[in-house]
């Protein structure tokens, strides 16, 4: 049995007991199959909700949370007021929660689980821990049983015992947990989410449900963040809007920008696009009672001064603003930019990455790059070519059932794959009769391995002035294989 309610605990059942033994004792008990994954999702949702108290929230096993509330208590009227508010809200959501506040994570964990909800005064950790069992130190069950076997049944007894014999018999983990709980050794918590650089929030006396009300609050919060960003000579590059619902659900709306900004109007417009795109997908439930706007990433944005003699700047939308607006509505992935990659192979020479105005154009070239077609076909298309043997330029070619007579040709330009790659991309083709035999397949594979190492590209012009980019894959007279020709691109 993984968990018990209060009524089951009153029947002398215990966690870890077999289901058959429990039914033998009480045949009428109700049993629900455990779902650890659903429990973990619920704990993650509760951790999201606890962000209303502090951004430093860490998971503690399968049923607990650690909150670092240093510097946050004054926002709620003190430690005791924060604790009471949290427990009240948990009860309203239907949870039976216990919480404790202490100067150390170990002491808070022990008091919450073995004493009940309380606030431990600073410096009083030893007195509060003394009557608790050794399990309050987060020890393994075997260690707790061994301590009980030698008469050490409380934390106070463990603390009073000589440390050296304890370490030799029960391991260093016992001493480490004791020192962490007493504050002799620092214990670092690992927050589940990164801490924002800046945040501004608005707590509402009455929950709001209309998207228009949320947008007005976003504008107010953006104006609050502007002052802090100006002090840092910075602008927001990544923002996040958190909407805390009354029933405990939290909506997180991230927003990325192409260039740093601290203009409240621009931030409000982008979140308008984001919220408008969600439409009915944003469920307000019984309303939002807390709205928070956070700066996740900031970039340098020094103040600027316009010339006094300049005319008013054009208020038209810039490229960065257009990219941000489209990204807010449809997602950042829809706007992509081609970036040159250090590769001679056409298919590998360009990468498409999310748009950013300061994205480098590509690696610096020691020599001018060769001329390339304006349009590169997604897949090279086979063509029938008449050419001079063994390596002359094409004289004419047939593509898509139309024949083109070539009047000018430049090439060949040989392109081979990088030495660390096996071969160039292969274009699928039909096998001929000879290749269907075992020996034919062996010869074809050997020839294929050689011919895939290089391509000979030709830039050709037909009688009407149209220019094409053709390449020959393979060489004449190599293992009886006839080279194949492909059209790879079209010039303007």
The string of pLDDT tens digits covering residues 172-216 is 999 999 999 999 999 988 899 889 999 999 999 999 999 999 999
β-bridge partners, 458: 470
CB 100 within 8 A of CB 119: yes
Measuring CA to CA, how many Å separate 131 from each of 16, 155, 244?
Answer: 25, 6, 39
How far apart CA 102 and CA 90 sit, in angstroms, is 20
Of 154-168, 287-301, 409-423, 435-449, which gets the smallest average pLDDT? 435-449
Mapping DSSP onto H, E and C, the string for 414-446 reads EECCCCCCCCCCCCCCCCCCHHHCHHHHHHHHH
Structure tokens at 450: 């050689």
Residue 293 burial by Cβ neighbours in a 10 Å radius (0-12, 13-18, 19+): buried
Q: Which of 61-70, 88-97, 291-300, 323-332 has the lowest mean pLDDT?
A: 323-332
In this prediction, what percent of the chain has a pLDDT beyond 70? 87
How far is the C-alpha of 152 from the C-alpha of 51, rounded, in Å? Answer: 39
Task: Quote the pLDDT of residue 106.
Answer: 94
CB 275 within 8 A of CB 213: no
Least trusted range by pLDDT, from 74-83, 278-287, 292-301, 306-315: 306-315
Task: Return the biggest CA–CA distance within the chain.
Answer: 102
DSSP, res 348: G
Of 303 and 4, the structure prediction assigns the larger pLDDT to 4
The tens digit of pLDDT for each residue in 304-347 reads: 665 555 444 444 567 778 888 888 888 877 777 777 777 777 87
SS3 49: helix
Q: Whole-structure pTM over 0.95, yes or no? A: no
Q: Are 241 and 271 in contact (CB under 8 A)?
A: yes
Where residue 157 falls among pLDDT bands split at 50, 70, 90?
A: very high
Instruction: Provide the 10 A C-beta neighbour count for residue 477.
Output: 11
CA 342 – CA 349 distance, rounded (Å): 6
| Bridge partner list, 294 | 199, 240
pLDDT band of 236, cuts 50, 70, 90 = very high
Q: Which two structure tokens, joined as six digits, stand for 127?
A: 């007195």
């Amino acid at each position: 049995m993984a968990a018990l309610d209060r009524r089951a605990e009153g029947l002398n059942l215990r966690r870890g007991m077999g289901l058959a033994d429990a039914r033998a004792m009480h045949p009428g008990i109700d049993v629900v199959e455990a779902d650890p994954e659903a429990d973990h999702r619920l704990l993650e949702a509760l951790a999201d909700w606890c962000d209303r108290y502090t951004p430093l929230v860490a998971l503690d096993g399968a049923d607990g949370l650690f909150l670092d509330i240093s510097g946050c208590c004054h926002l709620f009227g003190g430690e005791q007021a924060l604790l009471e508010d949290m427990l009240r809200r948990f009860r309203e959501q239907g949870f039976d929660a216990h919480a404790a506040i202490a100067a150390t994570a170990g002491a808070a964990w022990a008091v919450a689980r073995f004493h009940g909800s309380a606030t431990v005064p600073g410096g009083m950790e030893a007195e509060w821990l003394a009557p608790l069992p050794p399990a309050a130190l987060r020890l393994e069950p075997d260690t707790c049983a061994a301590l009980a076997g030698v008469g050490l049944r409380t934390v106070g007894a463990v603390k009073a015992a000589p440390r050296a014999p304890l370490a030799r018999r029960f391991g260093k983990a016992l001493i480490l947990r004791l020192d962490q709980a007493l504050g002799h050794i620092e214990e670092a918590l690992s927050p589940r989410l990164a801490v924002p650089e800046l945040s501004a929030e608005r707590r509402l006396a009455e929950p709001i449900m209309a998207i228009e009300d949320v947008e007005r609050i976003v504008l107010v919060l953006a104006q609050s963040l502007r002052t802090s960003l100006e002090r840092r000579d910075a602008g927001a590059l990544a923002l996040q809007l958190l909407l805390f619902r009354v029933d405990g659900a939290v909506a997180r709306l991230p927003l990325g920008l192409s260039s740093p900004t601290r203009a409240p109007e621009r931030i409000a417009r982008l979140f308008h696009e984001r919220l408008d795109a969600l439409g009915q997908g944003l469920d307000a439930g019984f309303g939002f009672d807390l709205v928070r706007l956070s700066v996740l990433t900031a970039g340098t944005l020094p103040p600027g001064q316009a010339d006094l003699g300049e005319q008013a700047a054009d208020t038209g939308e810039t490229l960065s603003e257009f990219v941000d607006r489209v990204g807010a509505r449809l997602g950042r992935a829809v706007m992509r930019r081609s970036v040159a990659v250090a590769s001679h192979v056409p298919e590998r020479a360009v990468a498409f990455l999310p748009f950013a105005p300061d994205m480098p154009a590509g690696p610096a070239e020691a020599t001018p790059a060769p001329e390339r077609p304006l349009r590169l076909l997604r897949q090279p298309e086979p063509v029938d070519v008449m050419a001079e043997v063994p390596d002359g330029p094409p004289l004419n070619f047939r593509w898509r059932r139309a024949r083109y007579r070539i009047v000018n040709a430049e090439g060949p330009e040989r392109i081979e794959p990088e030495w660390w790659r096996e071969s160039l991309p292969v274009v699928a083709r039909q096998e001929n009769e000879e290749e269907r035999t075992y020996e034919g397949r062996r010869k074809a594979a050997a020839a294929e391995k050689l011919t895939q190492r290089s391509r000979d590209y030709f830039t050709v012009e037909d009688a009407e002035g149209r220019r094409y980019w053709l390449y020959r894959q393979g060489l004449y007279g190599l293992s009886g294989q006839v080279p194949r020709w492909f059209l790879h691109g079209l010039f303007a």
